[in-house]
Structure formats: C-alpha cells, structure tokens
Amino acid sequence: MKIIIGCDHAGFEYKEILINLIREKKFHFKDCGCFSAESVDYPDYAHEVSKEVLKKTDHIGVLICGSANGVAMAANKHNGIRAAVCWNKKTSEMSITHNDANVLCVPARFISPSELKEIFDAFISSQFEGGRHKNRVDKINC
C-alpha cells in the first residue's frame, strides 16, 4: 500500500502528525503538499492526491482541511475516487467496510490529534465487505 497525502493550510499541522505516524508504520507515501500554514486553495491538493490515487489500485489517499468537506467535494469529481469525510473511528471503518473508500478526508478543526490517529488506523486496517455493498458502490460512478 502507498499512502498519498495532501492538505490545505488548515490541515498542515495534522498532515505533519500523520506523516510521522506513516513513517513509524513504515508505509510508503507521497506528500502532495501543502508545505506550510500559508493560505492555499484546497482543490489544488485534492486534485493532485486524487490523480495519484488513481494511478494504482494499492494507493489510498488522505486529505486534510478545516472541515474536510471542500477536499472531499473536489476529490469526488474524479471518476473512481470515493472520498469519505470521517470524524471518528466508526465513520472511518464504515467508509471502508460499506463504501470501499479510497480517500480519507479528515476535518482538522473538529478533531484532536489522538482522534486523527484513531481515524487513520481504522481506515488502513478495515476491509471492504463486498456483497450487497459492492452492488451499491458499483452504482456510484456515472
């Protein structure tokens, strides 16, 4: 698995926290930015992460902004991206088990660093259940 990570200025601090966790877990990753807390446009990073995720089936994305909504909206414009806004462990698990999400979007302004780690761990350790959920996921792209 390779993790593709990106953020806007509101998510920069949390991106750095996650990169340290990713390194500890010895995952391969690509940092698509941003690279400081200076104001930037979140769609630029959401699009970059989405393009990278779509390159290989074992790539997953993580996007971080203030509410997670903006990056999720931008990422979901890409056919094949299933970006999920997750604010706790359970929503993160279900984004995988029921929705086969391939991009995790987290709201930096509404969760703690410890919650961020729980959400990320749930995302990378959960497995898609398939079955009736696969039929629904197959209907997502137009």
Residue 43 has, within 13 A of its CA and on its CB side, a CA count of 5
Residue 105 lies in a domain: yes
**Selected catalytic residue, list 9, 28, 47, 98:** 98
Tokens representing 91 are 């929503």
Residue 113 lies in a domain: yes
Residue 71: name the closest of 113, 36, 40 by CA: 40
Residue 89 lies in a domain: yes
Threshold 0.95, pTM exceeds: yes
pLDDT tens digits, one per residue of 8-61: 999 999 999 999 999 999 999 999 999 999 999 999 999 999 999 999 999 999
pLDDT mean over 90-102: 98
Tell me which residue range forms the domain holding 29. 2-137
| CA separation for the pair 79, 92 (Å, rounded) | 21
Q: What pLDDT shows up at residue 60?
A: 98
Residue 118 lies in a domain: yes
Q: How many CB atoms lie within 10 A of CB 117?
A: 16
Residue 23 lies in a domain: yes
Residue 142 lies in a domain: no
Reduced to 3 states (helix: H, G, I; strand: E, B; else coil), residue 109 is coil
Q: What pLDDT shows up at residue 142?
A: 76
Instruction: Indicate the number of domains in the chain.
Output: 1
pLDDT tens digits, one per residue of 105-139: 999 999 999 999 999 999 999 999 999 999 999 99
- Counted residue by residue, the chain has a size of 142
Residue 56 lies in a domain: yes
Told to judge if 98 belongs to the known catalytic residues of this protein, a careful annotator would answer yes
Residue 39 lies in a domain: yes
What CATH number does the domain containing 115 carry?
Answer: 3.40.1400.10
Q: What pLDDT shows up at residue 98?
A: 98
